Amino acid sequence: MSKTAEAVPTIWTNKRSDALNTGTWRSAIPVYQNRPSPCHLACPVHGHIPVWIEMLRKGLLHEAWQKIVENNPFPSVTGRVCHHPCEDACNRSEHDANLSIRLMERYLADLALEKGWLFPETASPKKEKVAIIGGGPAGLSAAYQLKLKGYTVEIFETKPKLGGLLRYGIPNYRLPAKVLDQELNRLAKLGIKYHTETAITGAAEYKQLQNKYDALFIATGAQRPRKLAQFENNPETVLDGLDLLYRINSGQKPELGPKVLVIGGGNTALDTARCAKRLAADVTIVYRRTENQMPSQETEILEAKEEGIRFTFLASPVKLEKENETQKLVCQKMQLGEKDASGRPRPEPIKDAFFALETDTVIMALGSDIETPPIDELETQDHLIKVDANQQTSVKNILAGGDLTSNDRFVSSALGAGKIAAEQIDLLLGGTGKEEHFTGTEVLYEQINTFYFPKNPATTKSLLPASERTRNFQEVQLGLTEQQALYEAARCFNCGWCVSCDNCFYFCPDMAIKINNPGNGENYTILEQYCKGCGLCVKECPRGAIVLKEESK
Amino acid sequence: MKHYEIAEEKVFLPGHGACPGCAMALALRYVLNIFGRNSVAVIPPSCMGPMMGAQPYSSMLIPIFHNSFESSASSAAGIKRALRARDRDDVNVLALAGDGGTYDIGLQALSSVAEHNEDIVYICMDNEGYMNTGTQKSSSTPRHAYTTSTPGGKESRKKNLVEIMAAHHVPYVATANIGYLDDFVTKIHKIKDMKGTRMIIVLIPCIDGWGFPGDAAATMSRLAVQTGVFPLYEVEDGTKYTINHGPEGLPVETYISRQRRYRHLTAEQVSEIQKEVDENWAKLEGMANLFSATM
Ligand SMILES: Cc1cc2nc3c(=O)[nH]c(=O)nc-3n(C[C@H](O)[C@H](O)[C@H](O)COP(=O)(O)OP(=O)(O)OC[C@H]3O[C@@H](n4cnc5c(N)ncnc54)[C@H](O)[C@@H]3O)c2cc1C
Ligand SMILES: Cc1ncc(C[n+]2csc(CCOP(=O)(O)OP(=O)(O)O)c2C)c(N)n1
Ligand code: SF4
Ligand code: SF4
Ligand code: SF4
Ligand SMILES: [Mg+2]
């Protein structure tokens, strides 16, 4: 012992408490986690939404866009037409109103087009080759992911241009062709080989591909329109919805009678009706169920109504009748009965209850079915190609996805299936497959510390006025301004995603949290010598990025 | 979210003896780290004892004088005068006391110090009872709260110490808590730059004494404000009122129902408390309107 130490009277406090180990009091310890947010889990491409929203908020716009395109090569497309299940799942909806994730995505994606931002460099080339049949969103998404990983990728597509229903289904007023073209051009720069106007239909062709390529991804969609037999022989009056959209989207202006009836309640029905309205017709949608059972998106129904489209619900077409010079569609009245397989009440005809609607053109938009590729041992299930959770079919090294394998007929679902298929093909061909970015459980609203989030209303979305819409195919939904995008980004809780706010550090009564140097991996370290396991840091993390783990000593 | 300014030098050290999740330790962290090494503190018997740590260890890198229970204010004033006599007027002198040592037994010394406007900082760690000795009631314990010495609930109301201090026309008296860290830190910085008798009454929800989960001290602090039970405000020179955070329309029930010390309450008693809170708030708002600091 030194002299000075001896000189200090023993009743003096001369030692620092930080030599003590109060960590022994603890029975649980906080652990930092990147937990999955509800929006991430609901997103069919599993976008890292809270991550890119944080970047957007910080003004790191290019980085935010790069984060988005890790999972989705066409954010300008999904930013317009995605059915946004992420927004429906958003925790903020329990607080004030959910975030406009789709419009923030569109903001960044359109900025990328304006700035000419490119996809990342592809990895060094691998020797394995993958053939993709069908150049819609499912096929293109798989091609993109595989190409980034370094595979040789070739796409076979029937039509003269790529895009599938993005090009030939969804009309310009919802997805301008120019936007699609720009996103496809950016993809083309990656060096994927395209064989357009090359339909793969015969068994021999498939056999050839199987021999020549290491893996196949089939994404030919659901192209075969459903029909009603009694309307088959009337090509003058009765048109097919998908075919009509194909013609309009190819630049034609089909002649439609002044009085148009559209039969159906899905995407095709809504879009053909709105197209017909733009071709100067009087349009009524005839649907056998009621409005809230329509499979199309709510906003679309609203916009269609604004455009003057009428609806006749609980009606089913029976036959066409001609009386003098006027043509009529005879319909039977329906009523709702027991629930069917889709969980919706089944429409049942009311006996002897008929009525007639005057018409010049009837457009059938009753949905579509798949063509089963002629491959031995390729199993189907419920009129779809059967796949497992990794998009693997019953045949080795053949995967399938998109409308061909699912009744979730959505663009983002197709993109997600393509991504999953690419990860699985990578695994089959010796790669690492899927990467896990998140750990732990979904962040619930109850785990958000709402004190840190004052209530703020959602951004108001702007539309082209209805009066300016019906004479042209100009885009109806408008994007966000920079200011609006930043405002929305500031509303995000960033559920489960640590944004380095340091709040946990500031709330520890035991100074047991150390802030690490930026870029040193983990942002914070729990000092086990001092942490008493109180959980205050966990509770005060605004976004549920820390959890308390029990410790057994 | 705001980043709180804490002096680089950490004056309050880990390894201290506070209960896990204690709001008093967190409050102390900001008081000591902001006032810094050039400070001396007096500490009467209270939870501040375990906070300092067991002999010969200390969690506070400044000289501490353990005074008698009743003499915190006068001890601090004496030390300040002695320092001034030795030309060390630059040293901050802090009294860090509990509510028992302030509202009850130290009140006479405090009143005298306030009357003389002695140049000290007085931080009252108000956990609404004698907690270090096992939860006895003080004159700061609110009406109807259970303590071991009021097993049927306390019958009288909580003493309003802010008004007592304001009546002395001290330069500064304020309420604060760790639920509103930015407000708290702003107030500490503010009094560091002032002279004369300055006081902050910090509401310290006591995990054990009030009975609530160990991770909820900040939540409880906020509920106290959001229900109007403990508004955060400042009174300068006895007349200038500033309300920082007041009730947000939450009923007192949301605060009370989360604490074991109120477990025995009848609906009638809850509405009595609600009435008292509403009256207090109306009075405070009235004072703030009459004597607004911004006038
Ligand atoms: C009118 C309409 C509007 C829609 N609106 C929306 C919307 O707003 N939001 C939304 O999320 N979803 C919408 N959808 C659904 C969405 O477009 C589809 O779910 C999605 O495009 C499916 O992608 P896919 O790649 O599986 O198929 P598709 O997009 O159909 O692409 C399949 C591709 O394969 C090609 N192909 C077919 N057979 C062969 C073959 N034998 N050989 C080579 N190539 C072949 C086709 O030409 C086509 O290019 C809409 C659908 C329609 C019809
Ligand atoms: C004169 C005197 N009476 C009683 C005690 C015993 N005693 C020590 S701490 C304490 C409780 C102090 O209560 P409070 O000031 O509210 O501080 P807390 O413990 O609640 O932090 C008591 C009564 C004492 N130390 N000195
Ligand atoms: S608040 Fe943000 S992170 Fe949380 S669900 Fe909504 S968009 Fe996703
Ligand atoms: S606040 Fe501090 S002591 Fe409490 S659990 Fe978190 S790190 Fe541990
Ligand atoms: S409190 Fe802030 S810094 Fe700490 S984990 Fe949560 S988000 Fe990250
Ligand atoms: Mg006390």
What ligand has the least distance to the C-alpha of A415?
1
Alpha-carbon torsion angle A232, A237, A241, A242, nearest 10: 70
Which segment of A294-298, A387-391, B22-26, B233-237 scores lowest on mean pLDDT?
Answer: A294-298
pLDDT tens digits, A40-81: 999 999 999 999 999 999 999 999 999 999 999 999 999 999
> Does the pLDDT at position B9 exceed 80?
no
Q: How many CB pairs under 8 A join A and B?
A: 108
Whole-number Cα distances in Å, A312 to A241, A336, A347: 18, 15, 14
Residues of chain A neighbouring B208 (CB-CB closer than 8 A): none
Ligand 4, residues A21, A515, A522, A536: which to mutate, most atoms within 8 A of Cβ? A536
Q: Is the CB–ligand 2 distance for residue B138 below 6 Å? A: yes
pLDDT tens digits, B14-38: 999 999 999 999 999 999 999 999 9
pLDDT tens digits, A207-234: 999 999 999 999 999 999 999 988 988 8
Can you give the pLDDT at residue A416?
98
Name the CATH superfamily housing domain A129-223+369-428.
Answer: FAD/NAD(P)-binding domain (3.50.50.60)
Cβ burial of B250 (10 Å; 0-12, 13-18, 19+) is middle
Please work out, in degrees rounded to the nearest 5, the angle formed at the alpha carbon of residue A195 by the alpha carbons of A189 and A197: 125
For A13-26, what is the mean pLDDT?
93
CB-CB: which of A16, A502, A534 is closest to B57? Answer: A16
CATH 3.50.50.60 fits A228-368, yes or no: yes
Nearest Cα to Cα of residue A297 among A270, A322, A273: A270
Coil, helix or strand at residue A420: helix
> Does the pLDDT at position A30 exceed 80?
yes
Min CA distance, B238 vs chain A (Å)?
Answer: 32
- Contact check, Cβ <8 Å, B21/A25: no
Give every CB contact of residue B282 below 8 A, 6+ residues apart in sequence. none
Q: How many CB atoms lie within 10 A of CB A250?
A: 12
Whole-number Cα distances in Å, A432 to A35, A82, A179, A398, B283: 22, 29, 33, 18, 68
Can you give the pLDDT at residue A5?
53
Global pTM value: 0.93
Residues of chain B neighbouring A542 (CB-CB closer than 8 A): 1
Can you give the pLDDT at residue B8?
52
For helices A49-57 and A482-491, what crossing angle results, to 10°? 120
Same topology, domains A129-223+369-428 and A228-368? Answer is yes
> Does the pLDDT at position A282 exceed 90?
yes
Q: How far apart are CA A362 and CA A269, in angstroms?
A: 11
User: Which residue in A493, A515, A534, A537 has the most chain B C-beta atoms within 10 A of its own C-beta, making it the best mutation to test that interface?
Assistant: A534
Quote the DSSP letter at residue B256. Answer: H
The alpha carbon dihedral of B27, B31, B36, B37 has a sign of negative
- Contact check, Cβ <8 Å, B56/A507: no
Q: Which residue of B has its CA nearest to A10?
A: B56
Query: Maximum Cα–Cα distance for chain B, whole Å?
Result: 59
Q: Is the CB–ligand 5 distance for residue A486 below 6 Å? A: no
Q: How many CB atoms lie within 10 A of CB A27?
A: 12
> Does the pLDDT at position A8 exceed 80?
no
Q: How far apart are CA A107 and CA A75, in angstroms?
A: 9
User: Which residue in A22, A494, A499, A511 has the most chain B C-beta atoms within 10 A of its own C-beta, making it the best mutation to test that interface?
Assistant: A511
Residue with tokens 């989705």: A72
Q: How remote is the CA of residue B277 from the centroid of ligand 6, in Å?
A: 21
- Contact check, Cβ <8 Å, A21/B3: no
Three-state SS letters, A257-311: CCEEEEECCCHHHHHHHHHHHHCCCEEEEECCCCHHHCCCCHHHHHHHHHCCCEE
Coil, helix or strand at residue A235: coil
Q: Which two tokens stand for residue A333?
A: 């009245």
pLDDT tens digits, B76-127: 999 999 999 999 999 999 999 999 999 999 999 999 999 999 999 999 999 9
CATH of A3-34+498-550, one of 1.10.3720.10, 3.30.70.20, 3.90.105.10, 3.30.930.10: 3.30.70.20
Atom 26 (ligand 2) nearest CA: B69
Min CA distance, A70 vs chain B (Å)?
Answer: 29
Q: Please give the order of strands across the beta sheet that includes A193-195.
A: A193-195, A152-156, A129-133, A215-218, A398-400
pLDDT band at A498 (very low <50, low <70, confident <90, very high): very high
Q: How far apart are CA A45 and CA A74, in angstroms?
A: 11
Q: How remote is the CA of residue B21 from the centroid of ligand 4, in Å?
A: 7
Give every CB contact of residue A476 below 8 A, 6+ residues apart in sequence. A173, A174, A303, A463, A464, A469
> Does the pLDDT at position B176 exceed 70?
yes
Q: How far apart are CA A114 and CA A248, in angstroms?
A: 27
> Does the pLDDT at position A510 exceed 80?
yes
Nearest Cα to Cα of residue A279 among A470, A468, A467: A470
Q: Which residue of A has its CA nearest to B223?
A: A451
Nearest Cα to Cα of residue B107 among B139, B132, B129, B78: B139
Q: Which sequence spans correspond to the domains of chain A?
A: 3-34+498-550, 129-223+369-428, 228-368
Q: State which amino acid sits at residue A385.
A: I
> Does the pLDDT at position A3 exceed 60?
no
pLDDT tens digits, A320-329: 998 888 899 9
- Contact check, Cβ <8 Å, A530/B218: no
> Does the pLDDT at position B5 exceed 70?
no
Q: Which sequence spans correspond to the domains of chain B?
A: 23-290
Architecture of domain B23-290: 3-Layer(aba) Sandwich (3.40)
Q: How far apart are CA A379 and CA A395, in angstroms?
A: 8
pLDDT tens digits, A324-369: 888 999 999 999 999 988 788 999 999 999 999 999 999 999 999 9
Q: Which residue of A has its CA nearest to B20?
A: A534
Can you give the pLDDT at residue B267?
97
**How, if at all, do strands A215-218 and A315-323 pair?**
unpaired
Q: How far apart are CA A279 and CA A275, in angstroms?
A: 6
Can you give the pLDDT at residue B54?
82
- Cβ–Cβ < 8 Å for A363, A378: no
Question: Average model confidence (pLDDT) for chain A?
Answer: 94
CB-CB: which of A14, A19, A534 is closest to B214? Answer: A534
Residues of chain B neighbouring A11 (CB-CB closer than 8 A): 55
Residues of chain A neighbouring B29 (CB-CB closer than 8 A): 509, 511
Q: How remote is the CA of residue B98 from the centroid of ligand 2, in Å?
A: 8
Residues of chain A neighbouring B178 (CB-CB closer than 8 A): 507
Q: How far apart are CA A242 and CA A223, in angstroms?
A: 8
Residues of chain B neighbouring A501 (CB-CB closer than 8 A): 1
Q: How remote is the CA of residue A38 from the centroid of ligand 3, in Å?
A: 7
Q: State which amino acid sits at residue B77.
A: A
Q: How remote is the CA of residue B215 from the centroid of ligand 4, in Å?
A: 9
B279, containing H or E segment: helix B267-290
Q: State which amino acid sits at residue B133.
A: T
Nearest Cα to Cα of residue A196 among A248, A135, A259, A279: A135
- Cβ–Cβ < 8 Å for A501, A512: no
> Does the pLDDT at position B4 exceed 70?
no
The alpha carbon dihedral of B284, B288, B290, B293 has a sign of positive
> Does the pLDDT at position A2 exceed 70?
no
- Contact check, Cβ <8 Å, A529/B14: yes
pLDDT band at A476 (very low <50, low <70, confident <90, very high): very high
Query: Above 0.90 for ipTM, yes or no?
Result: yes
Q: State which amino acid sits at residue A227.
A: K
Can you give the pLDDT at residue A1?
44
Half-sphere exposure of B103 (CA within 13 A, CB side): 26
How many residues does the structure list for chain A? Answer: 553
Whole-number Cα distances in Å, B242 to A365, B4, B118, B129, B174: 67, 21, 23, 27, 9
> Does the pLDDT at position A297 exceed 60?
yes
Beta bridge partners of A400: A218
Q: How far apart are CA B150 and CA B159, in angstroms?
A: 16
pLDDT band at B1 (very low <50, low <70, confident <90, very high): very low
**How, if at all, do strands A310-312 and A238-240 pair?**
unpaired
